[in-house]
Structure 1
Amino acid sequence: MRIIIHSKYAAQEKAILQLVTAFFDAGNLIVKGSRNTIKSNVLGEEKVNIKYFKKPGVFKSVIYSFFRSTKAKRSYDYANYLLEHNIPTPFPIAYVEERNQFGLLGDSYYVSEQIDYDFTIRELIHDPLFPERNVILEQFAEFTFRMHEAKVNFLDHSPGNTLIIKNGAGQYGFYLIDLNRMQFENLSIEARMDNFKKMWLSKSMVKVIAKKYAELSGQSEEKLHAVLLEKTLDFKRKITKKKWLKRKLKR
């Protein structure tokens, strides 16, 4: 096992390794996927999340072992980058990689702070009467603008990957999760609007976000609205077509 621990948690290496070793026998299940599983547990007096990345196939194992950072390492490194640029995300505690005698990657784990959040963007999509909906969307647009200004292109910027905490009337905090797919680059205004497309925004949500983003960026509201609406509708059409084709093939 190879373990990399944030300096704040250096004294807890043994306890972190124990949590990872006992991953399948302890903790509370949060997400069970075909490739990844997330559990919550306790480190000292702190609630933490442990994300398990299943051993990749032979080809990907070679890629992740010698040519590309593992998902666990990327999650840890990207979280540190975000925090250094004042973009909130659950604090990165450690990542662990299992490798065989030839250096090939086996299972890996990412350990982070647990955020007790109130809701995600998904709830706003399904409920047009969600309390302070437009206020939240405006603050989400500002959060995403700051992310873009920090040269972060979050490729999984989707409804469930931003946790939202209500800090008081009209005040909300946003935390990015599921971080292992990011690019760090200067983003054109079109690329910035494209980054919203997976949010599955309604036309009314597009209007609110485009207006706020225009205020922050100094760009034309009409232009941003047109681009964001086009990107959103194109993405929805593509996903709808894929689902239709899958249903056809299953018949």
Structure 2
Amino acid sequence: MTTHFVMHPKFTVFEKALHEVLLDFETSGDYVTKGDRNVIKKVTLDGQTFNIKRFKTPNLAQSLVYRFLRKSKAKRSFEYASLLIEKGIKTPFPVAYLENFSGGLKDSYYVSEHVAYDFDFRVLNHNPRWPNRAEILKQMAAFTFQLHENSINFLDHSPGNTLIKHRGEGAYDFYLIDLNRMRFETLNLDQRMHNFRRLWLSKTMINIMAKEYASLFGTSEKETHALMTKHSREFQKKVNSKKLRKRRRK
């Protein structure tokens, strides 16, 4: 088995310790999430806290694709995070990634700096009375506009993938996570509104966000609202239909 380990120059002082943690991932750190697909752990070294994401072991065909044809999810996460930061988009700082190969890709890990955030976008979906909700939604629309203006199509733009930190005085910072699926392309209005679909927006949320986005982009509020509603409802209907089919099969 061969190992490929890349470290950001800013964190080379942690290189040896982090490498050891990654090689002994099962017994290192504390679990943040332990899913069927991916596992995230948190580890603290000399007062510095890192999050480590281990991606699901690919099947044989996928492992060969990741070895010879496509970058691993860990490598993409590291590179995309670096690109986002260059463009002024916040994301937990990319620290390192590690790939283990045995024929094809065996497993991979992405390490980022831990961000002490206050909540994620999901609370706005589930809590209509969340403090300052309308203002946060406006700022989230502006944040998404910033992505689009930088030709970033974040394909996993969903409620759990934006962390929100309150800076005080009604100002919020937004951090993207789960970065391995992105396209970098110029987006028209329809494509921009399509990118909102996974956020699972209610009518009230669309009213607020479409108005804010239209003012920033210089487009008609009516057209922006109609497209955001269309793509959101189509996505929600598709997901709900899939869930209904699964329940019927049980």
Deviates more, 1:153-162 or 1:49-58: 49-58
CA offset digits 1:103-148 (Å, max 9, x no partner): x211110000011111111101111111000000000011110011
Q: Which amino acid aligns with 1:187?
A: L
Matched residue, 1:170: 170
CA RMSD of aligned residues (A): 0.9
Preserved CA contact (<8 Å) 1:38 1:51: yes
Q: Is 2:114 the partner of 1:122?
A: no
Q: Which moves more between the two structures, 42-51 or 212-221? A: 42-51
Which has the higher mean CA deviation after the structures are superposed, 26-35 or 73-82? 26-35
Q: TM-score, normalised by structure 1?
A: 0.97
Cross-structure match for 1:226? 226
Q: Within 5 Å, give how 1:60-209 maps onto structure 2.
A: 60-100=62-102, 102=103, 104-209=104-209
1:117–1:163 contact (8 Å) kept in structure 2? yes
| 2:213 counterpart residue number | 213
Greater CA drift, 40-49 or 194-203: 40-49
8 Å CA contact retained: 1:145, 1:216: yes
Secondary structure in 2 matching 1:139: helix
What is the TM-score normalised by the length of structure 2?
A: 0.97
Q: 34-43 vs 80-89, which deviates more?
A: 34-43
Which region of structure 1 is more displaced relative to structure 2, 46-55 or 59-68?
46-55
Counterpart residue number, 2:54: 52
- The one-letter code sitting in structure 1 at the alignment partner of 2:146 is R
Structure 2: 5+ residue stretches without partners: none
Q: Can you list the C-alpha shifts for 1:28-86, whole angstroms capped at 9, x where unaligned?
A: 11111112100000133211000001321100001110000000000000000100000
SS in 2 for 1:112: strand
Q: % of aligned pairs identical?
A: 48
Is this contact kept in 2: 1:54–1:106, CA < 8 A?
Answer: no
Aligned-partner Cα distance in 2 for 1:11–1:205: 45
> Residue 105 of structure 2 aligns to which amino acid in structure 1?
L
Q: Secondary structure at the match of 1:56?
A: coil
**What SS does the aligned partner of 2:26 have?**
coil
Alpha-carbon deviation of 1:23?
1.4
Matched with 1:6 is 8
Number of matched residues?
248
What is the alpha-carbon distance in structure 1 between the residues aligned to residue 41 and residue 14 of structure 2? 19
> Structure 1: how far apart are the matches of 2:13 and 2:172?
33
Quote how far apart the aligned CAs of 1:12 are.
Answer: 2.3
CA distance in 1, matches of 2:141, 2:242: 28
